[in-house]
Amino acid sequence: CGKDSVGAICGLIFNKGTIEDSNNINSFVSGTGNYVGGVCGRNYDGTIANCENTGNVSNVGYIGGICGANLGLVKKCRNSGNITGTGKYVGGVCGSNGGKLETSYNTGDVKGVDYVGGVCGYQSGGSVDSCYNTGNVTSTGDDVGGVCGYQSGSTSNCYSTGSVTSEKTGAI
């Protein structure tokens, strides 16, 4: 448990750092501020590859099964833990994405307020490619979707089979 930039493996990736072939198996990860992930809290410009989270993750905002916020590269990652946010930017893989999110998936349930998605809660300027969600996605606010809650970038070859529940549905 911590406040900002909390992850089971790493709180913050900077200077093109890499987390590869690393797993958080059934450990609960929580924070009281922003940027909490099952593997990494915040990825500025690094790479998270072939990582897995099976533990439940909870936080206020910017929360994801793999990474709370991504501006780098997340690829070949998987989350099966349940993700619960009491604020904005909640996603099964990444809470927010402005980088590249590729060939990753979520099977856990995702719950939040605004900008809630099965793969990515808030997608702005980045890309989401070949990702999927099978978990249920629930929002008490606006902008929720099976893949992305809010979409303002590139999304391709993605799908969701989980249920989506909210007052308003997102772009995808």
User: Residues 46-71: pLDDT tens digits?
Assistant: 999 999 999 999 999 999 999 999 99
Give the chain's mean pLDDT.
Answer: 94
3-state secondary structure 36-94: EECCEEEECCCEEECCEECCCEEECEEEECCEEEECCEEECCEECCCEEECCEEEECCE
**pLDDT tens by residue, 116-136:** 999 999 999 999 999 999 999
Contact 78, 50 (CB under 8 A): no
pLDDT of 146 above 80 = yes
The tokens for 81 are: 């833990």
Average pLDDT over residues 140-164: 95
Closest among 72, 136, 66, 148 to 104, alpha carbons compared: 66
At 172, the pLDDT band (50, 70, 90 cuts) reads very low
pLDDT digits (tens, 9 = 90+) for 4-40: 899 999 999 999 999 999 999 999 999 998 999 999 9
**Is it the case that residue 168 has pLDDT exceeding 90?**
no
**Residue 135: how many CA atoms within 13 Å on its side-chain side?**
28
**pLDDT tens column, 15-25:** 999 999 999 99
Mean pLDDT along residues 165-170: 70
Which pLDDT value is given to residue 136?
A: 98
Considering the chain, what percentage of its residues have pLDDT values greater than 90?
Answer: 91
Residue 1: what pLDDT? 63
165-171 average pLDDT score:
66
